[in-house]
Structure 1
Amino acid sequence: MTSGWHHAFAVPAHGQSPHLRECLASLRAQTVPSPVFISTSTPSPWLGALAAEFDATLVAHGPNRGIGHDWNQAMAAAPATWVTLAHQDDVYLPHFVAETMRCVERQPRADLVMTGYAELAHRRTWTWTPMLAVKRLLEEQAFLGREAVSHRRSKRRLLAFGCAIPCPTVTLRRDRALGLFREDLKVDLDWDAWLRLADGPGAFARVRRLCMLHRIHADSETSDGIRAGVRAREDRAMFERLWPAPIARMLARLYAVGYEAGKP
């Protein structure tokens, strides 16, 4: 069941991120206001005070069972028709909700809406990196100038050469997304989720405009996964679902090189 809210932010919070305050401030600065729900398995007085400061609802769950469980719990905590899973280290520009919901109105068959984004690293905003360029190219070859794609082949083409759907930009139709994320994956749980959504009847839609800033830093889950070799293993498993084994191995190797080349 959802409430009367059309859109909400769900923030999976863990520990004491030094960037969470900036994230919450950006959610409160939206030109179209949306309620904010902070979901955590590590509640603390610090987090409670931060939630109160930004008029966010704090929802605790437990035990701590990993990132996939955190994301599923966050989606469940936000009772709205559309939910943005806002990553605690990222910044959402003031027009994010307005642009996303205008797209929803134009694309009533959509299950997923993604937006343009830039990266935050080394105290700078990067609107172009090799990895960003590759992801934008993958978007273009799937969307072919359209705002939305609904055919299974087009949606899978968006994901066939890597995860071209940037998770922090995504807003999901909540009734399609409850329990969506696999809890045994550590890095590619978003890629896996989008691939399963692609097999369904709903459309994927996009807002071309840059609407948020994704922070790249050494303590992120993705960075940890790359260092530990988890990303390479999960990438290969994902490619093997899409391609014959020899091609999957080649693409996984190219992707690993791309992560190094794509760093700002």
Structure 2
Amino acid sequence: MASPQLTFAIPYYRGLDLLEKAIQSVFSQTQSDWKLLISNDGGPDPALDALVARFADSRVTLVHNERNMGMAGNWNACLDRADTPLVTLLHADDELLPNYTAVVMQAVADHPDATLYYCQASVVDENGQPSFSLPDRVKRFIQPQPVGPYTQLTGEAALTRLLRGNFIFCPTICYQKSRLGELRFSSDWRFVLDFDLTTHLLLKEHTFIGINEVAYAYRRHGSNATVEYTQNRLRFEEEIQLFNQLADECARKGWQQARRVAQAKTIIRLNLLYCALTDSLKGHLPNAVQKLRLLTT
């Protein structure tokens, strides 16, 4: 058998039950030529080693970081430790669908010069059941409508579309390490680090390939970092700061359409209004007021 070309790297801190489901989803792949790396960033659960040992497979490696590296540090460690040409950062609370490896490897064969490959995702709740999310539904209308098996994103047009609404589910991305080079996630961010990387790749004229097939289950649940950072407004504060930076960078590059979209921040403002309305309906008026104040930023 040829050496595996793809590593599933799981940055882990807590959530052992969901991690087990994530690992099982790797073993459920229709293609078995993969490696699995679990990078434990000082997680508090002593049962982690026993859980991983139960799978007893030479393709699986568990690494304990010597110190807590934070999200960006652990994500970068996953990229650096992977010894295969392709790396997917599988989130510890998500699951791959059985076809993920097959569709990604086919996309790489069909488009070998792309920097990253992403697929469509289904959104599920903590029990794995379909979950409705209005922002996710809106993004379906923002993303390019599929024509054939793939969508190619590159240049200003791609960046402009992403600035109108980030329709790429970050953990679905498979990175081609040789094309990624030295670019990594920035420790300046806690929420937008994935969007920061993808937008700057587009600014550097990299090519993305979207796979127009669902191959990933993205889990939204109460302890999800997205939920936490939405409630405490950190996501919006970081998004506003990043969009301001991107507007300046687009102006220097002469990408005026992308600059205007970044400056307008329409998708951020719409989400702030939606979240403020949701907070109001739940009786969380102080949270709603604080979100509305960000509209003037």
TM range (shorter): 0.7 to 0.9
TM-score (ref. length: structure 1): 0.87
For the Cα contact (< 8 Å) 1:23–1:90, is it kept in 2?
A: yes
Work out which of the residue numbers 124, 130, 143 in structure 2 matches 1:126: 130
Distance 1:114 1:258, change over 3 A: farther
Residues 55-94 of structure 1 correspond to what in structure 2 (within 5 A)?
55=57, 56-94=60-98
Give 1:113's aligned residue: 117
- Report what 1:17 is aligned to: 16
Q: Which residue of 1 aligns with 2:288?
A: none
Secondary structure in structure 2 of the residue aligned to 1:126: coil
Aligned to 2:273: 257
Report the Cα offset of residue 146 of structure 1: 7.5
| Per-residue Cα deviation, 1:74-121 (whole angstroms, up to 9, x for no partner) | 111221101110000001111111011101111111111111111111
Following superposition, the deviation at residue 216 of structure 1 comes to: 0.5
Residue deviations 1:192-220 (CA, integer Å, cap 9, x gap): 01001112343111111111111101111
The runs of 5 or more residues in structure 1 that have no matched partner are none
User: How far apart, in 2, do the equivalents of 1:113 and 1:261 lie?
Assistant: 35
Equivalent in the alignment of 1:6: 5
After superposition, where does 1:167-182 map in structure 2 within 5 Å?
167-175=170-178, 176=180, 180-182=184-186
Contact 1:115/1:209, CA 8 A, preserved across alignment: yes
Of residues 195, 210, 223, the one that matches 1:191 is 195
Residues 131 and 261, structure 1, Cα contact 8 Å, conserved in 2: no
Query: Structure 1 residue 124: deviation in Å?
Result: 5.2
Aligned residues: 259
Aligned match for 1:159, one of 159, 162, 166: 162
2:51 corresponds to: 50
Query: Shift of residue 179 of structure 1?
Result: 5.2
C-alpha deviation, 1:145, in angstroms:
6.4
Q: Report the Cα offset of residue 150 of structure 1.
A: 5.0
Match of 2:284 in 1: none
Larger radius of gyration: 2
Q: Where does residue 36 of structure 1 map in the other structure? A: 36
Counterparts of 1:180 and 1:200 in 2: how far apart (Å)? Answer: 14
Query: Post-superposition, which runs of at least 4 consecutive aligned residues in structure 1 deviate over 6 A?
Result: 143-146
- Give me the whole-angstrom Cα distance separating, in 1, the residues matched to 2:132 and 2:181: 30
Deviations along 1:143-165, whole A, 9 cap, x unmatched? 77672425312321232113221
Identity percentage of aligned residues: 25
Aligned to 1:215: 219
Q: Which of 229, 232, 237 in structure 2 is aligned with 1:228?
A: 232
Deviates further, 180-189 or 154-163: 154-163
The code of the aligned residue for 2:96 comes to Y
Gapped runs of 5+ residues in structure 2?
Answer: 248-258, 279-297
Could you list the per-position Cα deviations for residues 163-210 of structure 1 after superposition, in whole angstroms to 9, with x for gaps in the alignment?
221111111112316551111211111100100111234311111111
Between the two structures, name the one with larger relative contact order (CA 8 Å, sep ≥ 6): 1
Larger helix proportion, structure 1 or 2?
A: 2
TM-score by length of 2: 0.78
Distance change in 2, residues 1:254/1:235 (3 Å): same
Distance 1:27 1:122, change over 3 A: closer
